């Protein structure tokens, strides 16, 4: 993976991965962005790396990701260590399309809602809010406590898009990947990215 932006004509998307269950959402979102040839600024928490390994048997680290990312897309991903508070995405002066966190844990929700930038992922999310850029949170938790709901409401009032990992069934999905894809395509739409031929629309029929 190259530290340089391979597609300067396209503004990158920040992708955050947290330790919530649902690593498949993060994986499929990353691959969907790369299918669009869209640069990705990737931030994964330590917990996210553990969950990826447990749920998908995949390692999330610069060299390890080269083993499962398509060869032609590897240069589109720039990895940022979770504790690198001096990274480009920590500043509002660095132009990005927006940010999506998938899956997004309730711990991350709480820190972002209260402005506690504990790590680079939290800080990057805070930057999107202050710069009025899209921030999409694919939240994964059940059931939701009153505290969770209050934090989510606070973020919604700040302009964040709260997108629960709740797939639709009207397109008659046959696989888990198709269920997950219905959610991530909606996340990409909220980032203002071009739709793919896999976007699921309700036609009213």
197, two tokens: 């031929």
List, in order, residues 6 or more apart from 57 with CB less than 8 Å away. none
Going from N- to C-terminal start, the domains of the chain cover: 13-190
Q: Does domain 13-190 have CATH number 3.40.630.30?
A: no
Q: What is the pTM of this model?
A: 0.90
- pLDDT tens by residue, 6-27: 444 589 999 999 999 999 999 9
Q: Which residues of the chain have pLDDT under 70?
A: 1-9, 194-203, 205
- pLDDT tens by residue, 123-144: 999 999 999 999 999 999 999 9
- The strand pairing partners of 135, in sequence order, are 99
* Secondary structure letter of residue 145 according to DSSP: P
Q: Tell which residue, 191, 178, 144, 145, has the closest CA to residue 164.
A: 144
- The strand pairing partners of 14, in sequence order, are 41, 99
Ordered alpha helix ranges (H), 41-172: 46-56, 62-65, 106-114, 120-130, 146-158
pLDDT at 6: 43
pLDDT at 180: 94
158, two tokens: 């700040």
């Amino acid at each position: 993976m190259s530290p340089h932006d391979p597609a300067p004509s396209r503004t990158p998307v920040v992708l955050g991965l947290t330790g919530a269950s649902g690593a498949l959402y993060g994986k499929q979102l990353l691959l969907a962005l790369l299918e669009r040839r869209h640069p990705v600024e990737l931030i994964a928490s330590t917990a996210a790396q553990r969950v990826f390994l447990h749920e998908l048997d995949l390692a999330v680290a610069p060299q390890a990701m080269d083993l499962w990312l398509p060869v032609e897309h590897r240069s589109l991903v720039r990895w940022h260590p979770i504790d690198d508070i001096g990274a480009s995405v920590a500043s509002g002066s660095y132009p990005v399309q927006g940010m999506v966190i998938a899956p997004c844990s309730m711990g991350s929700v709480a820190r972002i809602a209260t402005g506690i930038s504990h790590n680079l992922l939290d800080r990057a999310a805070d930057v999107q809010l202050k710069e009025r850029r899209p921030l999409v949170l694919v939240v994964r938790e059940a059931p939701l406590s009153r505290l969770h709901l209050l934090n989510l409401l606070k973020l919604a009032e700040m302009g964040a898009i709260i997108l629960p990992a709740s797939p639709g069934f009207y397109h008659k999905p046959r696989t888990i990947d198709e269920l997950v894809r219905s959610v991530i395509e909606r996340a990409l739409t909220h980032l203002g990215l071009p739709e793919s031929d896999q976007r699921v629309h309700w036609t009213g029929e």
